[in-house]
Structure 1
Amino acid sequence: MASTSPYLPLSASIDLPKIEHEVLDFWQTQDIFHSSVQMRQGGESWTFYEGPPTANGLPGTHHIEARVFKDVFPRYQTMKGKYVIRKAGWDCHGLPVEIAVEKELGFSGKGDIEKFGIAAFNEKCRQSVQRHVGAFTEMTERMGFWVDFDQAYWTMSNEYIESVWWSLAQIHSKGLLVQDYRVAPYCPRCGTGLSDHELAQGYESVTDPSVYLRFPITDGELKDLGASLLVWTTTPWTLVSNTAIAVNPDVDYLVVRTKADPEKEVSSEVLVIAKNLVELVGSSYEILRELKGSQLEKIKYQPPFKFIDIPDAHYVVLADYVTTEDGTGLVHQAPAFGADDLQTCRKYGLPVVNPIAPNGEFEAGIATVGGMFFKQADKILIKELKKSGVLYKHQQYEHSYPHCWRCHTPLIYYAQPSWYIRT
């Protein structure tokens, strides 16, 4: 009895590579992809934007995975009768490209690029991103991802760049483009900010100094008692631009007088600390006052360094984010180097003072640490704190610190003027 199956019989020995090439040849000679798109012209549109690859390196398995998903959804919508234009793209910008070219040229940073010449360096990058276009195209066709390479866009083309500027012009004309400060992770070696996604990729375990400091109060009843605010920080280098001290308005604080210990050469002193953390000063102390954080607001103090003149600053501010989980319950504020600090100090109209240059070094005019990389300045500053009598306690602190995932340089939280789109 003859078979009624609508399918052709299959040979027992199948040459899969041969079949693959036959199918690919049929798709190409008959222009199947473009025909499938044009057949739906006039139908409901379904928009597809390809997040384009960068072809400065050979394609990997992660590119195959991404392209599978990029093919499935447009193909499904096309099969439902929708008109889906699938334009390919090539990403020609970004630090990965620049760093790869830097390595090829033996460069170690921005200064080498400027000596080489920005135009010449850009040309090297332009050549780099076109290096493996053929390999990406072949891989894409072999795996059956239907996308239009004939009309592909290049992010380095003048047409594409012009379209971006046009879009920004439209946004600006509507009053939606604004310039403001934002504290963001910044790599001083690469000279660029990092996204939150990039930040999460580069944490490394490090040992940093942990210091407890006395900030002498300079007005009011607490000054008459000779009291100091007791503050903890793991970033001594930020103390150069200390602007305020934050306390939680609802937390209970104590003003305590510690007992002298002649054997240990420890003098009696008056300190302000969160009630829940008072054990930090030891077991022998006298409570002189108990008050809410809100009662400390606007109390003035003497900053640990006077390398920079910051007018109308150096007083206690209130911030709900301050906790008593660790430290002293009093948080040093340097608005150029912390998002919470920036937000808190803005409420009080305090200035943003940034003594760190884009290369991560203190500005040359800063006393004691001028020209020094911010992380290397810690040791020098701690010596100065000890010499001036401000240092209460010093120990090493092991913790996870963000580093650039590309070059492993310690990151700095850095306030830079940036452009934002109102939404």
Structure 2
Amino acid sequence: APYRTVLCLGHIADPQGKKMSKSLGNIVVPWEVIQRHGADAFRWYYLTSKQPWDGYLFSTETVGESVRQFLLQLWNTYGFYVLYANANDVAEPGEPATELDRWAISRLNATIAEVRDRMEDYDATRAGHAIAAFVDELSNWYVRRSRRRFWDGDAAAFGTLRTCLVELTKLLAPFCPFVADAIFENLDGGAPSVHLCEFPQAGERDLGLETAMAVARETVRLGLAARGHGKLKVRQPLRAAVVVAAGEERTAIERLAATVREELNVKELRFVAEAGELGSYEVKPNYRSLGPRFGKQMPQAAAAVAALDPAHVAAALRDGGRVAISVDGHDHELGRDDLTLAMAPLEGYQLEREGSHAVALDLALDDELRREGLAREVVHAVQNARRTAGLQVEDRIELALGGDAELLAAARDHERYLVQETLALSVDYEAASGMEAAIDGRTLTVAVRRAAGRST
């Protein structure tokens, strides 16, 4: 009788591609891998590293990557929830209240739909990839963007994250049964085990919000890359970011403008319609493409390319057109693969561009921005001192600062921000001893002490 579905498993070989056998001495004892990394990491590796019928080049270190790249991220996100829920004595998590909450739930529903679709097609590998991608979104965007809300005991933030984690355990149960059950038991407990729950059904999605958030995140990614290339710490505020966006993209960014400003640490967002407004183009020949075509006439071709109007070339290639050059009296058409376009940013700006997307940061720093940047560095130093002192996240402190006069002046100017971020009940600016921190070549002395009988 014909089969409805046939799954074939590939061979397991060692890292050099040799078949494992006792005679070659290259076998791996499964129990040793499980004792070192855990059964769930072992399962996750086999189910998600590649399609099982492709075979595996097995190494214990690769199983370890399963722990570092996925399971630790998941466990840390869960641990974050438990830490702040206990610190704030959260009894009744609330319903999603912000666009970020609704985005997280929408992405959860998208993940559920994709995992169900992949699993019904016997594709555990891509189902696992969808789960891992959502955990990354949850950790590196939702939780990171919501830290202040968790700190403040926001019931809607706790409710949103709890919903995401509980539903994740149900998706994850066939892949990592022990981790899934441990998280489910602590967060839900509505059933004796996650393995006795129904597999999740996808709810409604907000596709418009998902698209807008994707555009905003791409803008942030380019802006942070510009910061990196400009060697500017994210803690240093800047006056403005200039974004290439028009139409729906601009509308999406404007919808989430506060998020983009906070992520890039800029005071203002400005928009331009074309990347050319952020700098000037330089056009060069692609010698790999044009060399074989022009041969000995390549120097004349290069000179002809250099004489082209870069702005005209950029516009033509952006619209899918071509440009022409003349070499020895003969016209030749050139396309996108024949030319290289580079953009030099306007003076005083750092530009990052990818395709039609671009973000430029205004690098000019006045005294106000510098002082705010120093104040943020002081807060960072105090947070390090809190961790070194072994304080709990909810502990209120008595804070003393000493050292460089400019650092202390910046802390005074932004004292409200300083005490809010560090949970300081009092600040003394005459600390004689404490932990020393170096900030832009200046020395700051930080002394922290848990305020007697006080916690949030």
Pick the TM interval, shorter chain: under 0.3
What is the TM-score of this pair, normalised by structure 1? 0.20
Query: Which protein shows a greater Rg?
Result: 1
Of structures 1 and 2, the one scoring higher in RCO (CA 8 A, sep 6+) is: 1
- Please, what TM-score do these two structures have when normalized by structure 2? 0.19
Structure with bigger strand share is: 1
Question: Going by fraction, where is helix more abundant, 1 or 2?
Answer: 2
